[in-house]
A and B are shown apart, each in its own frame.
Chain A
Amino acid sequence: MSDRYVVSRGTKRSIIKALLSVLLTFAVTSVILLMSNVNPVLAFIYMFQGAFGDINLLSETLVRTSPIMVVSLGLAVSFKCKVWNIGAEGQLYIGAMLGTIVAIGIGGGLLSLLCALFVGAMGGLCWAAVPALMKVKLGINEVITTFLMNFVGIYLVQWMISYPFRSPDTYFPESAAVPASSALMIILPGTRLHLGVALALALVPIIYFLMERTTFGYKVNVVGENPEVARYGGIKVGKIVFASLIFSGVLAGLAGITEVMGIQYRVRGSLSPGYGYTGIVVALLGNNNPLGVALSSIFLAAIMNGSSTLAWAMNIPMGIVDLMQGLLFIFVLASEPFIRFLEGRGVLRL
């Protein structure tokens, strides 16, 4: 396949948008750090060291990247279709819970692992299918339903780990541990780097292929850009909207169960520190492009992990993570109108 791979105007634009958002996020964070009498340059150096400083820290950042990347690759597909799935967090928890039940039920071994991954993905699918059906059949806005389904999902899982599936051997509400023989293999001895990270990375070219080289990706694009043309062209718009939403649910569920099988080995209330929401920022920052999403995932994971080093070294609260993530979100959303403003003033020519 020797095609011309020209960086299109749209791609250039989205790269500039992403860089601008990141730059502004660091700028505003610096101001806030200065106000707390912290040297921002030093702070960011600590942050960088905390994320990439040695092989252990680097592997921890990759471990952190994995669930974010899997979730956001799925969200990128639904966002491309202009279907706004805000419910990845709930889909992630449901996937993790159902997968864990299956892993424990089957016992150990590869079969147990594979079944757990499959059921986890299906759990995310089912949780996304509810708002997807409501959107396609009844015309109910998916932003509201997917978001609210998060609470239903997360509290349902909390109840399950508090009562029916509570581990008999701990005092905390958490599920029993999955059998050690069904866990995802550690690929770098001495670290927590597990096979799930490699699987997450393998998803990047797969999603790229899906979006750029399959009729499904083509249809998602057309529906997202102009549903009227899609209808006219004989594309079943409802079907594609449904498919793209449940697809993002599948990956969210998969992210949840890999987090259990690779890192936590149990379902806890603290399984995800908001990966489902972080995924939204990541997908937008990466402009729904698989490669962009992959880079953005690493970036967000680095901020998360680097911040703990920063917090410990310079004695500032961990809330810096939420601060930066929030700023990033705002700047990503604002970057399009801002760039258009710059173009209008003739400052920027794209």
Chain B
Amino acid sequence: MDNRPSDPKKEDYAIFLKEITKTFPNGTVANFGITLGILKGEVHAILGENGAGKTTLLRMISGILKPDSGEIFIDGKSAKMRDPMDASRLGIGMVHQHFTLIPEFTVRENVALVLAESGWLDLKKVDAKIVEVSEKMGIEIDPEAKIENLPVGKRQLVEILRLLCRDVKILLLDEPTSVLTPIEVDSFFRIIRDLKSSGKTIVLVTHKMKEALKISDRVTVLRGGRVIRTVPTTEADEALLASLVVEGLAAPPVVKRGTPGDPILSIDSIIVKDDRGRTAVDGLSLVVRAGEIVGIAGVAGNGQKELVEAISGLRRVESGIITLSSQDITNKSTRFIIEKGLSYIPEDRMHRGVVLTMGIHDNLALKCIERPPMSKNWVIDRRSMINYAERLISDFSIKASDPCMSVENLSGGNIQKLIIARELSNGGTFLIAEQPTAGLDIKASEVVHQRLIDLRSRGAGILLVSSDLDEIIKLSDRICVMFGGKIVGEFFPENLDLERLSRAMLGAE
């Protein structure tokens, strides 16, 4: 606590937080006595585990939440923000972990949304602004492109572009790289540096130490809602940060490769179309064996999503055959496929993985509600549901005070734990894990990885779809690279030629 900033009125601070405390209605203390100064023109990383209070802090700076006590100073002046518009007027803009663009709208329309002040929509003016800002950022964006047609990396840039069109001086970024591929992360960091050199102040919330070290000027570590320490990045290294972020970090276990058995999932030259009717999966064939993790590597938007949806019965297969445990599941109902042993950890956990307004026990029982002991002859046994939830909460160390509390009160990491708990506990023989650790911190990711490996060791087949190449290499027994709806290369993690893999991902192999 030696380098604690003291004078909130000092002009050098873009943001100064003084003794900020926030308690949620369910009793969770998200932030406690946070005092922190963000200097003008710096990139400041806020590092911490899930539930450390990082996002809550950002939300208070951006006016979405109000602190229970404490004071926020912007440019040396005390700022009482009642809503995000107040923050916006002070030049503060936030990019959320879950994007706030309207998918059906074009880039131009999404930008116009935040610019429209007079009630008169001047699209020419909007276009001019987009061109001006995107040139400054050094990126190419088609104002007429629909958001839903853009890859995730581009969407993120649109979020930032939208803030810059509003002449934001302070950018708050919540886990901005969690959805990006390594290549996208590099170009994203270039943009962050450009923004910094043009005088913007950037606060970046992350749980990835490597990224904090790479991009920031100073790092503040949060743990349990408190500031542990702020260090200049030049004086920090991974070991120091790790010791600050978590107490008692275990060394990552050595991953032993599996011993593949008989095929569990076989896909034979399937063709699947995307939402717009274009061929997204183009005659793809793939086999996953029992006791094997097959990693699907590839740049997002090359048919991975459609492939997963086709296997799980959520999307029509135009032609070809999919078999699971030697039963034809092509175009069968999701219900049927789940009964044949499918478990599925979806990428979009908020919209596909859980019902936010329902209880933990309700969500955990989603796939076994029709089987005893959860229900008998249509009648639900609530006691069994609660017992089951209590067991999984402790087995998977989900942080929850009550098995019936609604899921919206859980942090993102705990929601993911809940989904994993459900999917690994319903006795499936084949698991699709789609971005299973996106947005999770080291410790939580490690737990997820260990769970996947345990499941494989018990003889299940796993299809791991991830844009985190490190994760794919670490866990997979076999890596298939997907490009343009096809498998364009097969690699083994031993003696991996990273350069060939990268070329395959870009379709140059």
Chain A interface (Cβ < 8 Å from any Cβ of B): 1, 3-4, 8-10, 212-219, 221-222, 225-226, 228-229, 231-236, 344, 346, 349-350
Taking a contact as CB atoms under 8 Å apart, the answer to whether A232 and B352 are in contact is: yes
* Neighbour of A213 across the interface among B334, B353, B382, CB < 8 A: B382
What DSSP secondary structure best describes chain B's contact surface?
loop
Taking a contact as CB atoms under 8 Å apart, the answer to whether A226 and B369 are in contact is: no
Known: A3-B383, A214-B378. A234 touches B367 (CB 8 A): yes
**Which one of B206-214, B354-362, B498-506 is at the A interface?**
B354-362
Bound complex: CA of A9 vs CA of B402, how far in Å? Answer: 14
Q: How far is the CB of A280 from chain B (nearest CB, A)?
A: 22
Bound complex: CA of A346 vs CA of B83, how far in Å? Answer: 12
Can you list 25 A-B contacts with CB-CB less than 8 angstroms, sorted by A residue number?
Answer: A3-B386, A10-B357, A213-B382, A214-B379, A215-B369, A215-B379, A218-B369, A218-B380, A219-B369, A221-B358, A222-B358, A225-B357, A226-B355, A228-B351, A229-B351, A232-B344, A232-B346, A232-B352, A232-B353, A233-B334, A234-B335, A234-B367, A344-B82, A344-B83, A349-B25
- Closest chain A residue, CB of each to CB of B26: A9
Judge if B375 is at the interface, Cβ distance under 8 Å.
yes
User: Which B370-408 residues have C-beta < 8 A from chain A?
Assistant: 370, 375, 378-380, 382-383, 386, 404, 406
Taking a contact as CB atoms under 8 Å apart, the answer to whether A1 and B382 are in contact is: yes
Bound complex: CA of A213 vs CA of B362, how far in Å? Answer: 12
Taking a contact as CB atoms under 8 Å apart, the answer to whether B375 and A215 are in contact is: yes
For A9, A219, A222, A232, which residue has the most chain B Cβ atoms within 10 angstroms? Answer: A232
Q: Which residues of B contact A232 (CB under 8 A)?
A: 312, 314, 334, 344, 346, 352-353
Bound complex: CA of A4 vs CA of B361, how far in Å? Answer: 13
User: Which B69-90 residues have C-beta < 8 A from chain A?
Assistant: 82-83
Q: How many residues from B make CB contacts under 8 Å with A? A: 37
Taking a contact as CB atoms under 8 Å apart, the answer to whether A229 and B352 are in contact is: yes
Q: How far is the CB of B49 from chain A (nearest CB, A)?
A: 27
Bound complex: CA of A222 vs CA of B354, how far in Å? Answer: 10
Bound complex: CA of A233 vs CA of B335, how far in Å? Answer: 7
Chain B interface (Cβ < 8 Å from any Cβ of A): 25, 66, 82-83, 312, 314, 333-335, 337-339, 344, 346, 351-358, 362, 365-367, 369-370, 375, 378-380, 382-383, 386, 404, 406
Bound complex: CA of A228 vs CA of B366, how far in Å? Answer: 13
Q: How far is the CB of B345 from chain A (nearest CB, A)?
A: 11
Q: Which residues of A contact B354 (CB under 8 A)?
A: 229
Q: Which residues of A contact B386 (CB under 8 A)?
A: 3
Taking a contact as CB atoms under 8 Å apart, the answer to whether A225 and B383 are in contact is: no
Q: Which residues of A contact B366 (CB under 8 A)?
A: 222, 229, 233
Taking a contact as CB atoms under 8 Å apart, the answer to whether A236 and B358 are in contact is: no
Q: Which residues of B contact A225 (CB under 8 A)?
A: 355-358
Taking a contact as CB atoms under 8 Å apart, the answer to whether A1 and B369 are in contact is: no
Bound complex: CA of A114 vs CA of B371, how far in Å? Answer: 35
Taking a contact as CB atoms under 8 Å apart, the answer to whether A234 and B380 are in contact is: no
Taking a contact as CB atoms under 8 Å apart, the answer to whether B333 and A215 are in contact is: no
Bound complex: CA of A126 vs CA of B314, how far in Å? Answer: 30
Taking a contact as CB atoms under 8 Å apart, the answer to whether B353 and A214 are in contact is: no
Taking a contact as CB atoms under 8 Å apart, the answer to whether A236 and B335 are in contact is: yes
* Neighbour of B314 across the interface among A9, A218, A231, A346, CB < 8 A: A231
Taking a contact as CB atoms under 8 Å apart, the answer to whether A215 and B382 are in contact is: no
Q: Which residues of A contact B335 (CB under 8 A)?
A: 234-236
Bound complex: CA of A10 vs CA of B359, how far in Å? Answer: 12
Q: How far is the CB of B463 from chain A (nearest CB, A)?
A: 16
Bound complex: CA of A216 vs CA of B369, how far in Å? Answer: 10
Known: A215-B375, A222-B358, A344-B83. A228 touches B352 (CB 8 A): yes
- Closest chain A residue, CB of each to CB of B338: A234
Q: How far is the CB of B157 from chain A (nearest CB, A)?
A: 26
